[in-house]
Amino acid sequence: MIMRISISLLSFLFISIFHHTNAYQYCRMKQELKELPKKAETVAFRGRKYYFCDGVFYKKKPGDTYEEIATLIGVHIKNLPENCSRINVNGDGYFYDNGVFYMPHGKKNFEIVNPPINAQVRELPNRAREIEFKGEKYFEHQGSFYQKVREGKTVLFVVVDV
């Protein structure tokens, strides 16, 4: 009973996402919606139907509710989130918003890609958590690691390979 109460109070959900040869563990607060946002687009990925809106993915659950899930790397979308910014990494152009990187794919689509090493962003993803590894501080978000750097008075977060 204590176990059930603590789990329901914390509402933690652990999701394993496998992409290529990497396995990511993603821990976050579970969120469910009774209705999808009106501008959500339907996307198919690995034979399943998902919904995407403003950088967030949802899947339908039994009982007509929708659960927020981790970012799906490799999905193609039509509409970028409203707050996306353009960044260049190693000569390639990306769009970025809240920990998600998008590459143009064809004329009207964007592919969600793994965060490119050396990408510099001004803000950490909302759910990034601070960790220490080999005596260094990093911020982890969905299996990617960011390191805080200063360029003069500007603070940036760089995607690093640890």
Q: What is the mean pLDDT of each run of 10 residues along the chain (162 residues)?
A: 30 30 38 84 92 91 89 93 92 95 92 96 93 94 94 94 90
Residue 156, CA distances (Å) to 29, 30, 116, 152 in order? 26, 29, 15, 10
144 by DSSP, 3-state: which? strand
Supply the pLDDT for residue 63. Answer: 83
Nearest Cα residue to 112 out of 83, 81, 139, 158: 81
The rounded Cα 33 to chain-centroid distance in angstroms is 18
**How much is the pTM?**
0.76
